[in-house]
């Protein structure tokens, strides 16, 4: 995925569609022995039916934590605040048994490394029957039939139901994981770096598959990734996370072409373009979420910082009904105006957060 | 099972393969003797005075007789039955209690885990035989009671091995994936963790069986658990020893201690060989490091 495809060409974003999942003022704080890590802070997002919503950001910005928070798959001592409303219920306060019934059936999650996400001692069929049985009383034959249908939908021949995970390639396994996740036709699919460990060709196949399945089942997809190519490929809307906060969100077109936040700009300009001879990056390291700054977390790395930035996290500003960002001194119009720094090929990298 | 056989076929003539085969032959031989005991023994092992007292081994009394005129040959054969019965019961009890507790403790963690670990470690820190004696003394004699007394000694071993293995399997990403698909805690323990942990159980099982026989023999030698006239090797040795210390004519009645003693030693060797061999084959990491 070396080049950015034209964003905004995906199925039209439908701003009026029904909200499937609503996140309001979400805080996720990890408590470790010595300190507290604020992995997500005051996150507000709405996922609408039938859209692909991408959450972008570099490593350690809290985006995976957000995905795990929605399923409440976090360590026991994690402190959660705010609310996540799904089908009229706040997922953060549900009893664990109610939550279990939602996991896999109404909201499903697929992960980054399909190679280790399947039990090596269980056949594909057993994976399906276990998943089916944890939500429904189902007979062996019926389970097999539904597994075959689900596998067929993702392009894995049902004749391979009796095979073990080690007999499949990474791409095939990811397909199987997707089939497992979609076996109940959930309303929401969270894809946490689902294509990251796959090679480019397989990545493209999986993305195409996800899009097809989305249209067929009316899925909503929350796509968590650091790969802007993937974002451009499938997203309707995009949110950019930095330091545990959503710093900018809008339609894919708005974020890619009219980015307002300096971090978004920096991120976009660090993408390697086909045929370019220079590399660009953002100086510095992602912030330590265990020691959050009082102001905007991007301040130390920002080339547009002004004294107010240290005072407090900026309020959200609206550019259009769909496009919002949090910055007191936003960049001007036009892509790549500022934000990233240029380097000549021979110069090497100096401790930059490298774009991937 | 198929996996074990496949590995075994390839390694039949290596050291661990040979160990398994020899161990298996010995254990199977004892099993056969235990099953066929009524057909093999010429006399009732619990009947007094089937021969003169203290007969030397000959064609009628193959292993000689005791001073009460018991036929030692029949007693040794029936002793196999007693030994295997109790060991089987004891290991079964230990597995059925130790493994589930280890799984739950390892997977759930928290205060339950702490309490169980504390209890199991306290039990484990007792010397085997003393613990077994205490329990046997409380429970009284009888086959089942002897089995319980022996099993308590081994529960902590199954518990610890299962718990520690569970701790590492619990962190595998496929467990998280199963949780994300809505598997309940019970299902995760039963269907995802147990099969991945179960491979270490046969090894401790066979090694423990060897140990259990020794504990059982010790127990009965000291007069706990199994009581006369029940045929058991440890009991015979104990009686012989008491007789010898009273009469001081031990060189003349060697058979009374030597034969039950050999029966114990050979069975223990069999179980140990089997256990060590299985360990080599089921635990490839260990195998690598030994080469």
Cα dihedral sign, B194-B195-B197-B203 = positive
Task: State whether ipTM is beyond 0.90.
Answer: no
SS3 of A98, please?
helix
Q: Is the pLDDT of residue A115 over 70?
A: yes
Among B108, B177, B186, B196, pick the best mutation site for testing chain A contact (most A Cβ within 10 A): B177
| Tokens matching residue B173 | 């990403």
Q: Is the pLDDT of residue A339 over 50?
A: no
A·B CB contacts under 8 A: 69
Distance from CA of B179 to the nearest CA of A (A): 8
SS3 of A50, please?
coil
Cα separation, A81 vs B283, whole angstroms:
46
**Which has the higher per-residue pLDDT, A88 or B12?**
A88
Nearest-CB residue to B177 (from A111, A126, A133)? A111
Residues 6+ apart with CB under 8 A from A151: A124, A157, A158, A160, A161, A176, A179
Distance from CA of B250 to the nearest CA of A (A): 58
Strand partners, B245: none
In chain B, whose CA is at the least distance from the CA of A122? B192
Burial (CB count within 10 angstroms: exposed 0-12, middle 13-18, buried 19+), residue A216: exposed
Contact B180 A180 (CB under 8 A): no
| A305-323 pLDDT per residue, tens | 888 888 888 888 888 888 8
- Residue B284: its pLDDT value, please? 59
Contact A130 B182 (CB under 8 A): no
Rounded to the nearest 10°, the torsion over CA A207, A212, A216, A219 is 20
Strand partners, A246: A241
**Residue B58 phi, psi dihedral angles, 5° rounding:** -150, -165
Contact A73 B180 (CB under 8 A): yes
Contact A111 B173 (CB under 8 A): yes
Mean pLDDT of chain A: 82
Chain B contacts of A113, Cβ < 8 Å? 173
The CATH architecture annotation of domain B49-264 reads Orthogonal Bundle (1.10)
Determine which helix (DSSP H) or strand (DSSP E) holds B55, and give its type and residue range. Answer: none
* Percent of chain A's residues with pLDDT above 70: 87
- Residue A338: its pLDDT value, please? 42
SS3 of A163, please?
coil
The one-digit pLDDT tens for each residue of chain B (291 residues) are 666 666 666 666 677 778 888 888 998 998 898 888 787 777 777 777 666 776 777 776 667 777 777 777 888 888 888 888 888 899 999 999 999 999 999 999 889 999 999 999 999 998 888 888 888 888 887 888 888 988 998 999 999 999 999 999 998 889 988 988 888 889 999 999 999 888 878 878 888 888 888 888 888 888 887 777 778 888 888 887 877 777 766 667 777 788 888 888 998 898 888 888 887 777 655 545 544
- In what side-by-side order are the strands of the sheet with A19-31? A36-48, A19-31, A79-86, A89-90
Distance from CA of A2 to the nearest CA of B (A): 29
Contact A109 B187 (CB under 8 A): no
Chain B contacts of A120, Cβ < 8 Å? 174, 196
The pLDDT confidence band at residue A64, using thresholds 50, 70 and 90, is confident
Contact A130 B180 (CB under 8 A): no
Q: For A38-47, A259-268, A277-286, B209-218, which range has the lowest pLDDT when averaged over its residues? A: A277-286
Contact A111 B172 (CB under 8 A): no
Cα separation, B117 vs B97, whole angstroms:
14
Any A CB within 8 A of B174 CB: yes
């Amino acid at each position: 995925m070396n080049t950015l495809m034209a964003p905004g060409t995906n199925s039209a974003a439908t701003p009026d569609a029904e909200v499937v999942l609503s996140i309001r003022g979400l805080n996720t704080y990890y408590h470790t022995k010595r300190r507290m890590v604020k992995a997500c802070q005051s996150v507000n997002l709405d996922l609408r039916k039938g859209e692909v919503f991408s959450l972008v950001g570099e490593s350690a910005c809290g985006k995976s934590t957000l995905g795990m928070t929605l399923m409440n798959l976090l360590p026991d001592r994690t402190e959660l605040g705010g609310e996540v409303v799904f089908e009229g219920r706040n997922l953060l306060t549900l009893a664990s048994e109610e939550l279990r019934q939602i996991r896999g059936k109404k909201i499903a999650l697929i992960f980054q490394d399909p190679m280790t996400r399947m039990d090596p001692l269980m056949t594909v069929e057993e994976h399906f029957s276990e998943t089916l049985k944890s939500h429904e009383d189902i007979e062996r034959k019926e389970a097999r039939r539904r597994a075959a249908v689900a596998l067929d939908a993702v392009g894995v021949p049902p004749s391979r139901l009796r095979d073990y995970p080690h007999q499949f390639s990474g791409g095939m396994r990811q397909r199987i994981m997707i089939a497992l996740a979609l076996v109940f036709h959930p309303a929401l699919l969270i894809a946490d770096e689902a294509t990251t460990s796959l090679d480019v060709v397989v990545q493209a196949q999986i993305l195409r598959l996800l899009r097809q399945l989305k249209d067929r089942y009316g899925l909503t997809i929350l796509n968590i990734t650091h790969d802007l190519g993937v974002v451009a490929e499938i997203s309707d809307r995009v949110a950019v996370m930095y330091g545990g906060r959503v710093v900018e969100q809008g339609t894919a077109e708005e974020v890619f072409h009219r980015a307002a936040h300096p971090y978004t700009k920096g991120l976009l300009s660090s993408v390697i373009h086909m045929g370019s001879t220079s590399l660009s990056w953002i100086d510095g390291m992602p912030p330590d979420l265990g020691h959050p700054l009082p102001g905007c977390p991007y301040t130390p790395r920002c080339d547009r910082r002004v004294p107010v930035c240290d005072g407090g996290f900026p309020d959200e500003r609206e550019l259009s009904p769909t496009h919002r960002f949090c910055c007191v001194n936003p960049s001007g119009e036009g892509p790549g105006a500022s934000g990233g720094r240029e380097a000549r090929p021979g110069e090497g990298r100096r401790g930059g957060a490298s774009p991937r | 099972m198929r996996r074990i056989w496949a590995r075994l076929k390839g390694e039949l003539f290596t050291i661990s393969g040979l160990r398994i085969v020899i161990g298996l032959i010995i254990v199977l031989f004892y099993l056969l003797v235990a099953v066929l005991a009524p057909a093999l023994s010429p006399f009732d092992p619990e009947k007094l005075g089937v021969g003169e007292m203290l007969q030397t081994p000959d064609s009628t009394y193959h292993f000689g007789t005791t001073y009460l005129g018991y036929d030692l040959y029949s007693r040794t054969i029936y002793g196999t039955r007693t030994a295997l019965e109790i060991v089987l019961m004891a290991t079964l009890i230990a597995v059925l209690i130790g493994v589930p507790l280890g799984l739950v403790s390892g997977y759930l963690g928290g205060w339950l885990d702490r309490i169980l670990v504390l209890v199991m470690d306290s039990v484990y820190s007792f010397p085997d035989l003393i613990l077994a004696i205490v329990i046997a003394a409380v429970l009284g004699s009888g086959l089942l009671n002897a089995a319980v007394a022996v099993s308590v000694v081994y529960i902590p071993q199954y518990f610890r091995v299962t718990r520690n293995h569970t701790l590492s399997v619990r962190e595998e990403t496929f467990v998280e994936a199963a949780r994300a698909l809505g598997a309940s805690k019970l299902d995760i323990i039963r269907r995802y963790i147990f099969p991945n942990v179960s491979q270490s159980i046969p090894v401790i099982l066979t090694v423990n069986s060897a140990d259990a026989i020794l504990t059982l023999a010790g127990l009965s030698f000291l007069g706990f658990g199994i009581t006369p006239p029940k045929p058991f090797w440890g009991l015979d040795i104990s009686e012989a020893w008491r007789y010898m210390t009273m009469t001081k004519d031990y060189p003349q009645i060697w058979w009374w201690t030597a034969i039950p003693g050999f029966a114990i030693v050979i069975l223990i060797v069999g179980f140990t060989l089997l256990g060590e061999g299985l360990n080599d084959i089921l635990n490839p990491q260990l195998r690598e490091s030994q080469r």
